[in-house]
Amino acid sequence: MQGKKFYQEKLFIQFQLSDYIPQDNFYKKLKDIIDFDFLYTLTSKYYGSQGQKSIDPVVFMKLMLVGYLENLNSDRRIISTSRMRMDILYFIGYDLDEELPWHSTLSRTRQLYGEEVFTSIFKCILKQCVERGLVSGKRQAVDSVFVKANASLASMVEKEVLDDVSVYTQELINNEEEVPIRKLPLKDRKVKRSNKTHISPADPDSRMSVKPGKVTRLNYLAQVSVDTRKHVITHIQAFQSDKGDAYCLPELVHHVHNNLKETGLQLREILADNGYSSGKALKFLSENNIIAYIPNSGKYKFNRDGFTYDKSNDSYICSQGKLLTFRHFRTDSHNTYKIYKTSVKDCKNCPLKGNCANSVGVKALEDTISKHLYDEMHLRMKTPKGIKMRKLRSSTVEPVIGTLVNFTAMSKVLTKGIKLANKCMIMAAVAYNLKKLVLTNKTPLQKLRPKIITYLQGITDFLREWLFNHTAYIL
């Protein structure tokens, strides 16, 4: 017999939300393992003792996490999605008939809280990942990704024009006159924009940047550090997108070191691609006793064809036996170079002069003052371990960045300014690490006392490192 369902809403109903949330639900597990009560003390300085009550700080942070866990980068969508999901309502502590906060409240609260609030949450989750045995701390893989800013190229104006308009506006304000609205004249010719000449009034911290095969747009640069044990993010930070990776590396490593130190771990190795290679970056890592595995850039030359370096005399000897002695330094915006030259007399009757000497009639070579660091790196990357480290880096950090961009709402920030962009990136990393924390099942080993866990993991790391370094020789 065919059935037919009739529906009529009940005026009264007995309903308890927790009874309808499965035990294996992600938000159910998340609520059970994470305690955000420390936020009340941390955010108390942002509120007075009178006036209307604000949104609960814990509720705000949980709604932020929902946005990144559900890949929602819009505050409106966070509220509308949460309203329809019983598991999310249970997670944030709301019943079906309770009115959720306005989406604008999320935006205002995000601006109100300082970066230290978001950083504290990140460190709290990172500490739990360490306690769970998901982080070794020893070896970190780093990489970067452009994150689209909330501004378009069409909004960019010349810096001089913007300065003139700002001065003119301020003068009118000082004279208590009404500021007239006027449009800048449009030019028929195509304007060539650059970060040196143009800026976006919509988001002055954003910068033009482009990757090969991609369109130019206004971006921020997210620098990400990932632990190689279980791919947990140990630090993330927003930079202006016109900053090179090598420029960002010292600050990135500094924060990674501090984050790990607070959990009792020590950073020893950094894995990165050749974009992070520079004399200043390599010097910083060397001075801080951090072993780096960073391929040198394409401009680097380990040997000079036809020339031999004499380290004792700091000079080069050409194939004809003539000396290229050190003459002076040359400095540009990125590095300092040592210039080596022959004399005009040495090259005057040389049979190779036509292909070797410059227009002045001498042969000149230049080396960066950090060449010894580049040479060490070149030899290190040629070892079996160096070859493995290059593969390990790409298999560790690149999938994490892909997940952040495609599944954790980090393809674009809908905020303005680098500080707010940094908050968004931190929360995306928190959401990623939370997934690792919740979805990693506890093994019998992880149920033991922390000191025993640390001891056994130390032995495991030693054996893994030994096998890693000797596999190539055994094969």
Q: What is the DSSP string of 126-173?
A: HHHHHHTT----SEEEEEEEEEE-S--GGG-EEHHHHHHHHHHHHHHH
**Percent of the chain with pLDDT strictly greater than 70:** 87
- Mean pLDDT score of the chain: 86
Instruction: Identify the helix (H) or strand (E) that includes residue 387.
Output: helix 384-407
Most confident range (mean pLDDT) of 156-170, 241-255, 449-463 is: 241-255
How far is CA 272 from each of CA 144, 211, 281, 292, rounded to the nearest angstrom?
10, 18, 11, 8
- Other residues' Cβ atoms within 10 Å of the Cβ of residue 51: 7
Higher pLDDT, 331 or 400: 400
Is the Cα torsion angle 245, 368, 353, 308 positive or negative in sign?
Answer: negative
Do you know the residue count of the chain?
475
* Residue 361, pLDDT score: 82
Does 472 score more than 70 pLDDT?
no
Q: Is the pLDDT of residue 474 over 70?
A: no
Mean pLDDT for the stretch of residues 300-314: 85
Count other C-beta atoms under 10 Å from residue 134's C-beta: 19
Is the Cβ–Cβ distance between 57 and 106 less than 8 Å? no
**What's at 233, amino acid-wise?**
I
Residue 183 has pLDDT above 60, yes or no: no
Give dist(CA 229, CA 232) in Å, integer. Answer: 8
- Structure confidence at residue 416 (pLDDT): 93
> Which of 144, 132, 282 is CA-nearest to residue 225?
144
Give the CA distances from residue 55 to residues 47, 63, 72, 79, in Å, rounded to whole numbers and listed in that order. Answer: 11, 11, 20, 13
370 or 214, which is more confident: 370
- Encode pLDDT of 339-382 as tens digits: 999 888 888 888 887 778 887 788 888 888 888 899 999 999 99
